[in-house]
A and B are shown apart, each in its own frame.
Chain A
Amino acid sequence: MKENSTKKEFLVPSDLSEVQRVSSEALSFLKPLGLRQAVLFDIRLCLDEALINAMKYGHQFKRELTVRLSIEYDQNEVRVLVEDQGEGFDPKKIKNCTEGENVLRGHGRGLHLIHQLMDEVKHNPKGNAVLMVKSLKESLL
């Protein structure tokens, strides 16, 4: 990310009612970019999924524990970082929701969607933070 990027941070209580409010604020923050609806859909979905995972698996929905959301953009990309205060997890141990009987499971699709819809996804070694990057090439109006 270049020095001339624009950045905003949120500390989000681990409460599902906060998800819509925060993702709506985050999308408003991206408005100056004039992104296509389909791109905004992808960013919102990945942001929502990462926030929900952090609240649910990282914090067991303990409202007092906050998830740190950082959203940053320049003319090339949008970077979204979601970090919780939990123990972390190993993303390699998550079953692929598109294989065999996993397709029928009631959960496990959020992370898969993130990896498919973003251009770059990185987990920190502890597994309590995910960085999601959307390239803006071909994403403008």
Chain B
Amino acid sequence: MQVKAIQIEEVTIFLVDGEINISTSPDLRKLFEKQAAKKVVVNLEKVIYIDSSGLATLVEMLKKMKSQGGSLGLSGMSEKVKSLFEITKLDKLFSISQSQDEAVTRVK
């Protein structure tokens, strides 16, 4: 898994590429813990696999952002990844957008 961070105005975007699994999610968690932006989008367009540890990592990130008065959006997930959010009802918890641009607008 590789993660690249870019900035669009006041929004930090994490572009995640690869698998978010039990082996890679600790790295993502560390990255999220270090970041201090108030408005964040995680672009999952290139995420080909995510397991329960990956979902838990995103939930932790959301809780952290909310407790700090920030906002977090997810974008670009495949139909398969999105179905896991629906099965676990996490689609009700997260702001999920089809495109990165839409997600950026929603977290502003």
Tell me, yes or no, whether A binds B. yes
Residues of A within 8 A of B (CB): 16-17, 19-20, 37-38, 41, 44-45, 48-49, 52, 97-98, 103-107, 109-110, 112-113, 116-117
Indicate if the CB atoms of A49 and B93 lie closer than 8 Å: no
Give the nearest-CB partner of A56 in chain B.
B22
Indicate if the CB atoms of A106 and B59 lie closer than 8 Å: yes
Give the distance in Å from the alpha carbon of A112 to the alpha carbon of B87 in the complex. Answer: 8
Stretch at the interface among B2-10, B30-38, B48-56: B48-56
Give the distance in Å from the alpha carbon of A113 to the alpha carbon of B60 in the complex. Answer: 19
Q: Smallest Cβ distance from A54 to chain B, in angstroms?
A: 13
Indicate if the CB atoms of B89 and A38 lie closer than 8 Å: no
Most buried by A among B21, B22, B55, B93: B22
Indicate if the CB atoms of A19 and B22 lie closer than 8 Å: yes
Indicate if the CB atoms of B49 and A41 lie closer than 8 Å: yes
- Complex interface: chain A residues within 8 A of B87 (CB): 112-113, 116-117
Give the distance in Å from the alpha carbon of A38 to the alpha carbon of B75 in the complex. Answer: 20
Indicate if the CB atoms of A98 and B22 lie closer than 8 Å: no
Give the distance in Å from the alpha carbon of A112 to the alpha carbon of B55 in the complex. Answer: 13
- Complex interface: chain A residues within 8 A of B55 (CB): 109
Give the nearest-CB partner of A55 in chain B.
B22
- Complex interface: chain A residues within 8 A of B84 (CB): 45, 113
Give the distance in Å from the alpha carbon of A16 to the alpha carbon of B21 in the complex. Answer: 10
When A and B form their complex, which 9 residue pairs have the shortest distance between CB atoms, in order from nearest?
A109-B52, A98-B89, A110-B52, A116-B87, A106-B56, A109-B88, A103-B89, A41-B80, A48-B51
Q: Smallest Cβ distance from B49 to chain A, in angstroms?
A: 7
